[in-house]
Amino acid sequence: MKYAIIIPDGAADEPQESLGGKTPLQAAHRPAMDEIARLGVVGRSNNVPPSLPAGSDVACLSLLGYNPLEHFTGRAPLEAAAQGIELGAEDWAIRCNLVTIENQTMRDFTAGHISNEEARQLLSTAQERIGSDWLQFYPGVSYRNLLICRGAKKPAPFSRDTRATPPHDLTDKSVVDDHPRGPGSDLLTRLMEQSAELFANHPVNAARREAGKLPATNIWLWGLGRAPRLTAFQELYGVQGTMITAVDLLRGLAALVGWKRIEVPGATGYIDTDYAAKGRFAIKALPHTDLICVHVEATDEASHQGDTAAKIRALEEIDRHIVAPLHEALKKQGDYRILVSPDHPTPIRLKTHNHGAVPFAIAGAGIQADAATTYDEVAAGKSPLAFDDGWRLMGYFLGKAISC
């Protein structure tokens, strides 16, 4: 039996006035997703418990079949795993965005999608001036970087009660009252303030302003935690998985659960990603794995930009270049099951992630067709098949329920 999972990140949404009351999924031409709905079942699941932040970190942990209430320790530790950064038991990983704050307002949580090289230079300055053996800045991809607090050298001041707001939740909002809270928050606040001074006249920002680009005015620290200890997916579910993604968070999750990872040239984690290449690489991987998972960030990015047309386009590209060819390839090779599910809703109205149910569709061996003929939020809302604990969906999909 082969399994395939396609995750259109943040695809779940609300009815749009501009679309005559349809959701972006309903408005998109998505024959391959609808075929799965027609052949199999449509349902809904909730991947983010109310007590945890609504984001891909918690939601994808659930989607991969791990109870986030037991296992989630923060986003940054997952990204550290993706980059191969070893975390000791006392170490804390902290997400270090490069952001643009203007007039105390979060203008852009990506600092204009700053380049890797520019980010590297800014972080190198931060390391020289405010870093140490204890506080180590690690450049990642674009605005997504990390700060590691090496607790073995000197105890880290943080706890599970340390809170910091994700910068993508603050888009176009005031940051004045949004300082970190709880143990160690004064350290986080101080580093962010110091970065503003360091970056104000930095050559990287001078050049960006000159070129009409947004400067990286600050670091924004959030998503902190220690490394989670996860039982290998194969041990839990008896299936060997492989992940295709362009996002460090998902690479990290894959690494932590013992999945293989495939890097696809042209996969950007953005709306300009090479969808067809992702589809081709997924099909090529099929003979070598039990389960192939293709994650696409583009739908989420379109929502962050509040761009309905881009979201619909991304959904159509995913349908045509990934879901359709992968499903055809699965049919040719024998028994299979295929699952399409976003991790969490990212409503265009909010431009950020939200709690709430997402629609899923499953077809394949042993799945009896239900009444649904389309894959969307409305069909899922009508379905009797619902997982309030989203992490249980994986057991249902694989036909192998586990206790935790």
Beta strand pairing status for 2-8 and 291-296?
parallel
Is 189 in a helix, a strand, or coil? helix
Are the C-beta atoms of 106 and 120 separated by less than 8 Å? no
Minimum separation from the CB atom of position 317 to Zn ion (A): 17
Among the candidate windows 55-63, 221-229, 309-317, 385-393, which touches Zn ion by CB under 5 A? Answer: 55-63
Is 270 in a helix, a strand, or coil? coil
215 vs 345, which CB is nearer to Zn ion? 345
Among the candidate windows 10-18, 34-42, 266-274, 355-363, which touches Zn ion by CB under 5 A? Answer: 10-18
- Give the separation between CA 82 and CA 220, rounded to whole angstroms: 20
Max CA-CA distance within the chain?
63
3-state secondary structure 283-344: HHHHHHCCEEEEEECHHHHHHHCCCHHHHHHHHHHHHHHHHHHHHHHHHHHCCEEEEECCCC
Nearest residue to the partner Zn ion, using Cβ: 56
Taking CB under 5 A as the criterion, which residues in 60-119 touch Zn ion? none
10 vs 279, which CB is nearer to Zn ion? 10
Among the candidate windows 56-64, 110-118, 215-223, 372-380, which touches Zn ion by CB under 5 A? Answer: 56-64
35 vs 343, which CB is nearer to Zn ion? 343
Spell out the residues 6+ positions from residue 287 whose beta carbon is closer than 8 angstroms to its own.
Answer: 333
DSSP 216-262: --EEEEEEEEPPP----HHHHHS--EEEE-S-HHHHHHHHHHT-EEE
Minimum separation from the CB atom of position 78 to Zn ion (A): 12
60 vs 111, which CB is nearer to Zn ion? 60
10 vs 347, which CB is nearer to Zn ion? 10
Taking CB under 5 A as the criterion, which residues in 135-194 touch Zn ion? none
Binding Zn ion (rule: CB under 5 A), the pick from 5, 7, 9, 180 is 9
- Give the separation between CA 305 and CA 146, rounded to whole angstroms: 24
35 vs 300, which CB is nearer to Zn ion? 300
54 vs 367, which CB is nearer to Zn ion? 54
Contact flag: residue 248 with Zn ion (CB under 5 A): no
56 vs 218, which CB is nearer to Zn ion? 56
Among the candidate windows 7-15, 245-253, 272-280, 364-372, which touches Zn ion by CB under 5 A? Answer: 7-15
Binding Zn ion (rule: CB under 5 A), the pick from 16, 47, 56, 185 is 56
- Give the separation between CA 114 and CA 107, rounded to whole angstroms: 14
Among the candidate windows 15-23, 88-96, 104-112, 336-344, which touches Zn ion by CB under 5 A? Answer: 336-344
Give CB contacts under 8 A, 24+ apart, made by 82-89: 82/248, 82/249, 82/250, 82/251, 82/252, 82/254, 82/255, 83/138, 83/140, 83/146, 83/248, 83/252, 84/255, 85/138, 85/146, 85/148, 87/148, 87/226, 87/227, 88/150, 88/151, 88/152, 89/226, 89/227
Token representation of residue 39: 């052949």
Binding Zn ion (rule: CB under 5 A), the pick from 34, 79, 343, 376 is 343
Minimum separation from the CB atom of position 221 to Zn ion (A): 20
Is 396 in a helix, a strand, or coil? helix
Among the candidate windows 64-72, 279-287, 337-345, 355-363, which touches Zn ion by CB under 5 A? Answer: 337-345
Binding mask 295-314 for Zn ion (x = CB under 5 A): -----x--------------
44 vs 202, which CB is nearer to Zn ion? 44
63 vs 81, which CB is nearer to Zn ion? 63
E strand or H helix that includes residue 6: strand 2-8
Minimum separation from the CB atom of position 10 to Zn ion (A): 5
Residues that bind Zn ion (CB under 5 A): 9-10, 56, 300, 343
